[in-house]
Amino acid sequence: MVHHLSEKHSLISNWIAEIRDISIQSDRMRFRRNLERIGEVAAYEMSKLMPSTIKQTTTPLGIHQSKVLAEQPVLATILRAGLPLHQGLLNYFDKADNAFISAYRKHQEDGNFEISIEYLSCPDLNNRVLIVCDPMLATGASMVQTIQAITQHQTPKEIHIVVAIASKKGIEMVEAALGKNIPIWCGDIDDTINDKSYIIPGLGDAGDLAFGTKIQS
């Protein structure tokens, strides 16, 4: 259920190249816009697999039987890095409900970290399509705990994951924890992560590149 969106050359592979490129990353607006574009492409590709219905559309000259989405999904993102990718999805699923989750790595003195979830704002998910996005799927821990937190008391009928870059280890963790029936839509896939759990070659810290560096707590 892994969809590697840049496996075949298309514009998305050009945008992936730009968000990786250290000579371009200093342009924050361009970095955010490229993440947004990746979200738009993912939304378009997902829409091909989503149920549709026929709606009567009145034109100035008559009636047309138009095929439209049967329902709008719920779009969820992990703050703050996920906001540009989320906006790209929202540009196309423009009537969607939205959920926001604060999930971050809380680093310890020994170099390890735990995932801390401190905020969750979410609409009703029962029997709905849920799309969760985050630019980077490194270890997979943040994504797994985020989805577990969102679905603790609610049951979506479908869950999709959208990331700009995934590691193979992150994909394996998501599949081991959540099952292989959850589609993972990846702009690109890298082989490894380093000892600090960053994707290699990856692109660095997506949140800092999009919005500026932060004080570590």
> Checking DSSP bridges between strand 184-190 and strand 2-4, what pairing results, if any?
parallel
What average pLDDT is seen over the chain? 92
Residue 20 pLDDT: 98
Residue 1: how many other CB atoms lie within 10 Å: 14
- Alpha-carbon distances, residue 93 vs 72, 97, 120 (angstroms): 7, 9, 21
pLDDT band, very low/low/confident/very high, at 88 (cuts 50, 70, 90): very high
Q: How far apart are CA 103 and CA 97, in angstroms?
A: 20
Confidence of residue 215 (pLDDT cuts 50, 70, 90): confident
- Label residue 105 by pLDDT band (50, 70, 90): low
pLDDT of res. 112: 59
The domain over range 2-52+69-211 is classified in CATH as 3.40.50.2020:
yes
Whole-prediction pTM: 0.91
pLDDT tens figures, 129-180: 999 999 999 999 889 989 998 898 899 999 999 999 999 999 999 999 999 9
Q: What is the pLDDT of residue 216?
A: 65
Averaged pLDDT for residues 58-81: 95
Residue 31 CB burial class (10 angstroms; 0-12, 13-18, ≥19): buried
Per-residue pLDDT, averaged over 18-36, amounts to: 97
Which element (helix H / strand E) includes 191? Answer: none
Domain ranges of the chain: 2-52+69-211
Mean pLDDT to the nearest integer, 188-211 = 94
